């Protein structure tokens, strides 16, 4: 019998101060990376998918961003609108 599947991992990359697109308040936003990994016998082997998102700490709205936007936010350049 072979046991396989996937497991999700959530990693917080940074806390950024941005203006929220939903509530319009300048608030802290958590920049997070969500990675899904293929597992074999409960051992994670390789990533299947990766996505990035910001979440407003004021209203809880979550907005997906691309990897390039996330890298720009980490370096201090780009903003999400």
Contact between 54 and 31 under an 8 Å Cβ cutoff? The reply is yes
pTM of the predicted model as reported, rounded to 2 decimal places:
0.83
Distance CA 69, CA 57 (A): 19
Residue 77 has pLDDT above 80, yes or no: no
pLDDT tens readout for residues 13-28: 999 999 998 999 999 9
| All residues at 6 or more sequence positions from 21 whose CB lies less than 8 Å from its CB, including other chains | 61, 63, 80, 81
pLDDT tens readout for residues 18-75: 999 899 999 999 999 999 999 999 999 999 999 999 999 999 999 999 999 999 999 8
Look at residue 12 in the predicted model and tell me its pLDDT.
Answer: 96
Residue 79 has pLDDT above 80, yes or no: no
């Amino acid at each position: 019998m072979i046991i396989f599947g996937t497991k999700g991992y959530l990693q917080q990359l940074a806390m950024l101060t941005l203006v929220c697109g939903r509530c319009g308040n300048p608030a802290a936003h958590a920049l997070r990376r969500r990675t899904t990994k293929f597992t074999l016998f409960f051992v994670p082997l390789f990533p299947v998918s990766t996505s990035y998102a910001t979440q407003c700490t004021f209203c809880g709205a979550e907005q997906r961003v691309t990897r390039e936007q996330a890298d720009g936010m980490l370096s201090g350049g780009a903003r999400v609108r």
